[in-house]
Amino acid sequence: MCIDSPPAGFHSSAPGKLVIRKPQSADLDTLVTLHAAYEREEVLPMGSEFNSVVSRINMERIFKNEQMLVADLGGKLVGKINTNAAAFTRFQIGGVYVHPDYRNRGIARRMAGEFAASIISQNRGISLFVKKSNSAARNVYLSIGFKISGDYRISYY
């Protein structure tokens, strides 16, 4: 999926106490936990073993080198979104995750919308990959202006 113009329809979504902000150093341990859950749910091929040390190293690298926003609901981090690659004219978004206890409240829509608006204000387009089976995520992205740009397949050897 991709988007090249400012997203729309995300400002009023999500709970009133939700704050979308840049992460702080004090957030790192919670981010490691969210990232581990994201990797288990969305990244690891079925039957693969999760490695908590590698997951933490991945999050520390993202925290240090990538753009990121977090969803803070009443002082509790409940979601995250980050870039994971950059090209000359585009960023790739990855690591979009909302804790299962806080889904279906508009948090992902607001977080993705604010993040996309921030990146597009840098005169960059955005691409992301989302599984066809993840209809909730696809609906979030489509609702704020992302377009389907093609299909892909991942093969593990």
Is position 8 within any domain? yes
Cβ atoms within 10 Å of 42's Cβ, excluding its own: 16
Among residues 131, 113, 115, the alpha carbon closest in space to that of 42 is found at 131
pTM of the full structure: 0.92
Is position 116 within any domain? yes
Among residues 126, 129, 143, the alpha carbon closest in space to that of 2 is found at 126
Domain that holds residue 92: 2-143
Please name the amino acid found at residue 117: A
Is position 148 within any domain? no
Is position 92 within any domain? yes
pLDDT attached to residue 11: 79
Report the domain count for the chain: 1
Is position 139 within any domain? yes
pLDDT attached to residue 76: 96
Is position 152 within any domain? no
Structure tokens at 12: 């009023």
pLDDT attached to residue 46: 85
Mean pLDDT by 10 residues, the chain (157 residues): 92 83 97 96 90 96 97 96 95 95 95 96 95 92 93 65
What CATH code is carried by the domain that includes residue 83? 3.40.630.30
pLDDT attached to residue 39: 95
